[in-house]
Structure 1
Amino acid sequence: MPGKLFPLGGPVPEKDVVDREDFIFSLQTRLAEGQSIMLAGPRRIGKTSLAYEVLRRGKKQGFYTVSVDFFRLSDKRDFAVSLINACLENRTGVRRTIDVLKDRAKSIAGTAKITLKLEDLEFGIGFLADEKNDNVLLDYALDLPNVLAKRDKKSVIVLFDEFQDASRVVDADIYKKMRSHFQNQESVAYMFLGSKEGIMDTLFGNRKEAFYRFATILPIPPIPENAWIKYIIERFSHRGINTEYEIIKEILNRTGGHPQDTMLVCSEIFYALLEAEENTITPGIVRLGYDRALITLTPVYDEILDELSQRFKVRDVLKRIAFGKSVYAKNINPNEAKRAVDHLVSKAIIQKKGRGSYTFVEPMFQEYILREFF
């Protein structure tokens, strides 16, 4: 059975990374030279897909690669264990090395083989038998990428996704602790990803913060329209579906080229064609696919709107922006309007277009607002 025509719900495979070649090459080059990178932007715009592609290529070139997602972690020990596992996988080839060593059901020979691979790291069944203090375990984890780099004479690339959540997972001092471990690691480069741009910009751009100027902050370039069109036409053609340049351009006009939303709309168009037993995309099918995608996104948008509505006047200001009106109104104090706009920008809901002018980061969310308040 063929896989998904358009990938949804997570990092995309290599073949579905649309025309980011120059940017990926730039990331590879910088990381190979030991320069750490910070990428920030709202969720679902492709940050993690880009980062995973960099890790894939780095691994092919002989780098050790490590990936930890703070969004999935709950506490200090969880972070330490996840980082250790991700590091050790480069030697053992096992995704959860610690679990294997703890699992007595595993064959003695298999466990012994893994233990031998880790002997010089002072890590094995004996290490696990001692219920290590969480702080000791965390210190070990934070040093491990550099230890591996030195022992195995390898360069290491470490990815931390949703990095702004580290303080939630551990504590407010985690950034100072991490910086103290990372700053003298010569053969380790870090990629820091975050969906809350305001917090990430503060962490790496405020001189009072521990990670001030530790990493180069790079903007994520949008996918060029022609690259999107070429990719989408090729994907549909792969399944014998006919379409035209202007039809695909209309899809992009509706999604604004937002990576996940574009994939979702195209996916719904594909399934609508299958159900109708048709193989040609028409304007009517585009509208149907778009509406179905918007229905799929409605629970997500409902939750976002509920959260935004907890802040004074934010909902009113958001509505005015969606309808193309000035953020200032008679019933809204100018200071309240500014605070609402700043909050929406910090949440990556809107972005500044010009003086007093704002656009939605995700055009389909704007359409949801328009339909909600029509």
Structure 2
Amino acid sequence: MLFPLGGPVPENDIIGRDSFIDTLQMRLAEGHSVMLAGPRRIGKTSLAQEVLRRLKKQGLYVASVDFFRLSSKRNIAESIINSCLENRTGIRRTLDAVWDQAKLLAGSAKIAVKMKDLEFNIGLPRKEMDDETLMEYAFSLPELLAEKDKKRMVVLFDEFQDAGQITGSDIYKKMRSFFQLQRNVSYLFLGSKEGMMQSLFGGKKQAFYRFATVLPIPQIRESDWELYISRKFRGKNIETSSEAVKEIISLAGGHPQDTMLICSEAYYTLLEVEETKLSLDIVRIAFDRAMATLMPVFDEMLDELSKKHLVREVLHRLAIGDIIYKEKNHPYDVKRAIDQLTLTAVIEKEGRGKYRFVEPMLKEYIVRNYQDG
């Protein structure tokens, strides 16, 4: 795929964030834990996975758990254990082999020896363990493994705010009770619900208060986008103009996934019409095709937001540049709608009474398709 979509991007497609990745790598390797928050599809996971790749190359142990994909305490525990033990065994689902002796014996002798060594050194969990005991084992494993092997371990928790929704908010207290005693483990926390993440790590009564350094994710500079887009098209013998490339960046507002989507649609449009020059006409066709692709995503988002009073009306006013506070609405209700949109990272505050859409294509979609009220 010329322009990667739908998941973490390869190393060569991470744009303009080298210095930030260097910072993350250094902090985590030195023992600091870090929290990154921002809406989905802006490249958090791509950044984090690249940091883990570099740390692993540096000789550290790494583990990665995505709470968005989990649904129970046991899922959480098994995911942490498997990801940690993969550093030793080289297989993704180590617990399957541990708990299925037939599978273990049918595997390589090398894996069987590694399992016996693990069992002797750290003790392996039993399948009949209750969920709570298994989870406690999982929370203690990163430090245990790091200490035994004299390695630093870095653990990535993606969509961390979902952990409380899966098991209840007490999980954060349980985690903190283990993590705060660990001297050989650093944690990288990611979350797409910025308001919840800020509360988890900034609220004085929260379990993770001041546990991690909160870092803002830098915007990708327009000049970096221009170089990247031109280079990718040039690699397919497609001529680009500065005007056409800048139009892509402008239409997407620099949003990482939306910029990639417009570029991808432009590439396939060029293939279909058998042209080798990226023009403004091609870019505008690509934009409309990208908008059609995003239609179900935006509709679902707006349907969810519309469950809250006044949210859709306020969103439309923001999109068309209208007055937010109108006489027909109580100011408190409008303020609550603004807070909801900010909490869900649909908009962000730029100044007093000024807000911007995190995803400019959503703004354009609302202007085209929705009316106030």
Query: TM-score, normalised on structure 2?
Result: 0.96
Shift of 1:166: 0.6
2:303 is matched with 306
User: Is the deviation greater in 102-111 or in 236-245?
Assistant: 102-111
Any unmatched runs of 5+ in structure 2?
none
Q: CA deviation at 1:167?
A: 0.8
State the match for 2:31 in structure 1.
34
CA contact (8 A) 1:37 1:192 kept: yes
Q: After TM superposition, give the deviation of residue 123 of structure 1 in Å.
A: 3.9
Give the Å deviation of 1:109. Answer: 4.8
Question: Mean Cα displacement is larger for which, 243-252 or 113-122?
Answer: 113-122
Provide the residue aligned with 2:353 in structure 1: 356
Indicate the residue corresponding to 1:198 in structure 2. 195
Q: CA deviation at 1:67?
A: 0.2
Shift of 1:100: 2.7
Q: Could you tell me which residue of structure 2 aligns to residue 367 of structure 1?
A: 364
What is the 5 A alignment of 1:230-249? 230-249=227-246
Aligned to 2:91: 94
Alignment correspondent of 1:170: 167
- What is the aligned partner in structure 2 of residue 207 from structure 1? 204
State the match for 1:14 in structure 2.
11
C-alpha offsets along residues 65-89 of structure 1, whole Å, 9 cap, x if unaligned? 0000000001000100000000000
Find the aligned partners of 1:67 and 1:373 in 2 and give their Cα distance.
40
Which residue, 267, 271, 276 being the options, matches 1:270?
A: 267
> Residue 170 of structure 1: CA displacement?
1.9
Name the residue aligned to 1:154.
151
Query: Runs of 5+ in structure 1 lacking a partner?
Result: none
Letter in 1 for 2:67: F
For this pair of structures, how many residues does the alignment match?
Answer: 368
Range with greater deviation from structure 2 (335-344 or 115-124): 115-124
Distance of 2:221 and 2:25 partners within structure 1: 21
Counterpart AA for 1:233: S
Instruction: Give 1:324's aligned residue.
Output: 321
Query: Could you tell me how far 1:161 is from its partner in structure 2?
Result: 0.2
Q: CA deviation at 1:308?
A: 0.8
TM superposition shift of 1:105:
4.1
| Cα separation, 1, equivalents of 2:136 and 2:52 | 24
- Give distance in 2, aligned partners of 1:190 and 1:60: 18
Paired amino acid for 1:88? L
Q: Write the mapping of 1:184-195 to structure 2, written as runs, cut at 5 A.
A: 184-195=181-192
Q: CA deviation at 1:108?
A: 5.7
- Asked if 1:119 corresponds to 2:119, the answer is yes
Deviation, structure 1 residue 117: 3.6
Q: Distance in 1 between matches of 2:168 and 2:254?
A: 37
SS of alignment partner, residue 208 of structure 1? coil
Amino acid at match of 1:9: G
Residue 334 (structure 2) aligned to one of 334, 337, 343: 337
| Aligned alpha-carbon RMSD (Å) | 1.2
| Residue aligned with 2:161, SS | helix
After superposition, the Cα gap between the structure-2 partners of 1:108 and 1:286, relative to the gap in structure 1 and judged at 3 Å, is: closer
Contact 1:79 1:169 in 2 (8 A): no
Mapped to 2, the partners of 1:121 and 1:365 lie a distance apart of 53
C-alpha displacement of 1:193: 0.3
Q: TM-score, normalised by structure 1?
A: 0.96
Instruction: Read off the aligned partner of 2:278 and give its amino acid letter.
Output: I
Whole-angstrom CA distance in 2 between matches of 1:155 and 1:250? 45
Pair 1:135–1:275, CA change in 2 (3 A): same
Equivalent position of 1:47 in the other structure: 44
Look up the equivalent residue of 2:139 and give its one-letter code: L
* SS of structure 2 residue aligned to 1:192: strand
Kindly provide the amino acid, as one letter, of the partner of residue 187 in structure 2: Y
In the alignment, the residues of structure 2 paired with residue 193 and residue 211 of structure 1 have an alpha-carbon distance, to the nearest angstrom, of 13
Q: Percent identity?
A: 57
Counterpart residue identity of residue 309, structure 2: F
Distance in 1 between residues matched to 2:112 and 2:7, nearest whole Å = 35
